[in-house]
Amino acid sequence: MDAVDVSKSRDLDKLLLRHGNLVDPGFSPGPDLRDDIREYVKILVVGAGGLGCELLKDLALSGFRNLDVIDMDRIEVTNLNRQFLFRLEDVGKPKAEVAAKRVMERVSGVEIVPHFSRIEDKEIEFYNDFNIIALGLDSIEARKYINGVACGFLEYNDDDTPKSQTIKPMVDGGTEGFKGHARVIMPGVTPCFECTIWLFPPQVKFPLCTLAETPRNAAHCIEYAHLIKWDEVHKGKSFDPDVPEHMQWVYDEAIRRAELFGIPGVTYSLTQGVVKNIIPAIASTNAIISSACALETLKIVSGCSKTLTNYLAYNGGEGLYTKVTDFPRVNDCLVCGPGILIELDTSVTLSKFIEMLEEHPKLLLSKASVIHGNGNLYMQAPPVLEEMLRGNLSKPLYDLMGRVQKDTIHVSGTSLLNEQKQSFSTKLRVLFKGADGVADMDTAIGA
């Protein structure tokens, strides 16, 4: 290690090289710790938006040198009031690529690999490559997906305690206006995103009859134009909020409807806000939440202080208010729990099993793909794979799983839980009746 490097971490060294009192029991300070963080720790930043830009900068200046960032979006003008790694001339370029480049330009030694891609398009194993996943997202769906993936790596011991080496920690941030949250998710130990899904209130949706018959405010007029009138007029052509002409059309229609009913307040800005469900966002809140997430990342990796247990709520609108809540885990959580126990006869075929998933009240999973260990038993797509594996459908699952009495498998597909269609993946614990040693089966966690 040369002298330049040592003094560059002048401030960080105080935390990493010195003994402390309020630290993790496993904390072992010293130059080795600092160097290991540089060399061996890999972190994935999901999202290169308001939070992601800050996270990359914060992590790069917290001694991490191996970072990846994934984001499918391109830079827009409306990003520039907070996403400080982007300039006007970057508009239209992939966020992940520009963000990675800018941070590498300024922080020497850091290596950031950008992925201009949907998170769903990466192999699951891609995510297993990282020590920690840091989430800077603004959608619940994307959080659910990553949460499912990270929790999917979790394995349990026979006594239902999580195997510590399979825990894939996540830090998650979210903001809206002057408010935000930062949280630490240790799958199997602290609640996962799904355990506390109620923290995200359902989106406000107007009843269609209100829109169609008794509009009362500007938003009703806008949603009428957007959800009803558009389809009436543009048969078969789907509405695209990113096409300015489409937005203009909705705005004009909304104005017309507002005038018809004598309702004030329809503006272009409101039209965009309602149709795109725009969440107001500012630089300062993103900075606050991201830095809290990055600090927790550093603490998880190094043990240089206690970790947040486990949810920090922040509200800067009325005064300044922060609150830490230790939310409990949901023990039979479908995502981070040990998995639903399914008892099967050894004769049950894979296709019969897939049918059963559809009827299982806690799954309602249709079009399931099934993975056991590192091998695919059946995949719905791509077609090549489907064809290759089709032959498995008629074989007994017991045989396909290597004739063991009890094992874990992963299934994914479309679930109708909570009366809405959503892609869903989970792990299941399969127990074969009539196989050896069935007497000790665990019935406590039955479905």
Binding-site ranges for Zn ion (CB under 5 A): 192, 194-195, 333, 335-336
What is the distance between the alpha carbons of residues 138 and 38, in angstroms, rounded to a whole number? 29
Span from 210-218, 399-407, 414-422, 425-433 in contact with another protein (CB under 8 A): 210-218
Three-state secondary-structure class, residue 133: strand
**Shortest Å distance, C-beta 18 to Zn ion:** 36
Choose which of 27, 156, 239, 268 interacts with another protein (CB under 8 A).
Answer: 268
**Shortest Å distance, C-beta 174 to Zn ion:** 17
Choose which of 160, 231, 259, 399 interacts with another protein (CB under 8 A).
Answer: 259
Whether 209 is catalytic: yes
Q: Please choose, from the candidates 280, 269, 221, the residue with its C-alpha nearest in 3D space to the C-alpha of residue 247.
A: 269
The entry of Zn ion, another protein, none that residue 19 binds, CB within 5 to 8 Å by partner kind: another protein
Pairing relation of β-strands 170-176 and 179-185? antiparallel
C-beta of 229 vs 372, nearer to another protein: 229
Q: Please choose, from the candidates 112, 73, 106, the residue with its C-alpha nearest in 3D space to the C-alpha of residue 92.
A: 73
C-beta of 147 vs 291, nearer to another protein: 291
> In the window 162-201, what residues touch another protein (CB under 8 A)?
177-178
What is the distance between the alpha carbons of residues 355 and 138, in angstroms, rounded to a whole number? 35
Question: Would you count residue 319 as binding another protein (CB under 8 A)?
Answer: yes
Question: Would you count residue 81 as binding another protein (CB under 8 A)?
Answer: yes
* Residue bearing tokens 């719905």: 380
What is the distance between the alpha carbons of residues 85 and 208, in angstroms, rounded to a whole number? 42
> In the window 283-312, what residues touch another protein (CB under 8 A)?
283-288, 290-292, 294-295, 298, 305-306, 308-309, 312
Q: Say how far residue 174 (Cα) sits from the centre of its chain.
A: 11
Whether the Cβ atoms of residue 307 and residue 69 lie closer than 8 Å to each other? no
Question: Would you count residue 214 as binding another protein (CB under 8 A)?
Answer: yes
The conformation of residue 157, written as its DSSP 8-state character, comes to: -
Question: Would you count residue 108 as binding another protein (CB under 8 A)?
Answer: yes
Q: Which of 53, 151, 192, 209 is catalytic?
A: 209
**Shortest Å distance, C-beta 230 to another protein:** 17
The entry of another protein, Zn ion, none that residue 192 binds, CB within 5 to 8 Å by partner kind: Zn ion
CA end-to-end span of the chain: 56
The conformation of residue 364, written as its DSSP 8-state character, comes to: -
C-beta of 99 vs 377, nearer to another protein: 99
Whether the Cβ atoms of residue 182 and residue 172 lie closer than 8 Å to each other? yes
**Beta bridge partners of residue 172, listed in sequence order:** 135, 183
**Shortest Å distance, C-beta 333 to Zn ion:** 3
Q: Say how far residue 46 (Cα) sits from the centre of its chain.
A: 8
The entry of Zn ion, another protein, none that residue 333 binds, CB within 5 to 8 Å by partner kind: Zn ion
C-beta of 222 vs 431, nearer to another protein: 222
Is the Cα torsion angle 42, 46, 47, 52 positive or negative in sign? negative
Question: Would you count residue 320 as binding another protein (CB under 8 A)?
Answer: yes
Question: Would you count residue 8 as binding another protein (CB under 8 A)?
Answer: yes
Residue 262 makes CB contacts below 8 A (sequence gap 6+) with none
Question: Would you count residue 324 as binding another protein (CB under 8 A)?
Answer: yes
C-beta of 338 vs 396, nearer to Zn ion: 338
Is the Cα torsion angle 303, 306, 307, 312 positive or negative in sign? negative
What is the distance between the alpha carbons of residues 298 and 307, in angstroms, rounded to a whole number? 9
C-beta of 135 vs 258, nearer to Zn ion: 135
C-beta of 37 vs 192, nearer to Zn ion: 192
**Shortest Å distance, C-beta 11 to Zn ion:** 36
> In the window 61-80, what residues touch another protein (CB under 8 A)?
61-62, 77-78, 80
Residue number closest to Zn ion, CB atom: 333
Angle between helices 95-106 and 50-60 (to 10 degrees): 30
The conformation of residue 303, written as its DSSP 8-state character, comes to: -
> In the window 369-408, what residues touch another protein (CB under 8 A)?
none
**Beta bridge partners of residue 321, listed in sequence order:** 315
Choose which of 45, 48, 51, 54 interacts with another protein (CB under 8 A).
Answer: 54
Question: Would you count residue 280 as binding another protein (CB under 8 A)?
Answer: yes
Catalytic residues, by residue number, are 209
